[in-house]
Amino acid sequence: MTLIIHEHYPLKACNTFGVAATARWFAEAHDECEVREALSAAAARGAELLPLGGGSNLLLTGDLDAFVLRLASRGRRLLGEQDGQVLVEAEAGEPWHPFVLWTLEQGLCGLENLSLIPGTVGAAPMQNIGAYGVELKDVLHSLLALDRQSGQLCEFSAAECGFAYRDSRFKREAGRWLILRVRFALSRRAALQLDYGPLRQRLQALGIEQPSVQDVSRVVCAIRAEKLPDPQVLGNAGSFFKNPLVSAAKAEALRAQWPGLVSYPAAEGQVKLAAGWLIEQAGWKGYRRGDAGVHVQQALVLVNYGKATGRELLQLAQRIQADIYARFGVELEIEPLVR
């Protein structure tokens, strides 16, 4: 298959914020050969190659003088089973939520807490997606990535991915790796993760005392649908800020001033603060200026009510960051890639 290259390609439909922007060049790669062809085409044009998945973790603040490559490879397969562990592989372009549902249909456990997260399989390891007590690192077995510097294919075990909170070596080494396929270690024996309070509470409210993986997935979908707006209806990129990590001493000092502070223990004696709680306490929940706003039900989500530009959304985010630092002495980090 020969790569089809478009010029001055509109990207509004390629990002979940629904922000209008144009790529100087654009193509879709359906396999490794087309990925390599795109790399050559970008180099021949002296252009940066910018990979794109589902556009659900991206804020475009203007036109891109770059070669945008959407990774559109599809395919999912069972690779084998041993000692109750099932190895599953998916191509980078597979939409994430349908892939999760497919694993559940195969009778596999492990991805149910990650239901309804937007984006693609290949983008998931970039920021170590996580929700309701589970992170990708907990279920990832390995992945195959193309080294854009050497042209070599490299396989990474989970330990070699350098995962951290919403982070990975692939995010830190931006511009070097293109993830082509991902393998997951799943199980046929349910080991449900129900420690996230609202998840357990919702199951109990429904009278489900011994939930199945399908029950967990359905409840996760319901909670997410209630908390987060549908990008098809209201442009957004999900959680716009990371939950900040602070020292235990800092958290205690804040709790003395703000007794309702929402926080969670984290590694290395740190404490994770709920960014949404901080933003809501500062009065930003439901704020709107023009078509750029903060969601009325979830303060962690910035939304595009229709015609907001990426620059307007970024300016709103920067105002929130400055206000949170002034009030709490806490720095909020933007989660999506800003271009």
C-alpha dihedral over 64, 69, 74, 77, to 10 degrees? -110
**Positions marked catalytic:** 166, 239, 335
> End-to-end distance of the chain based on CA atoms, in angstroms?
30
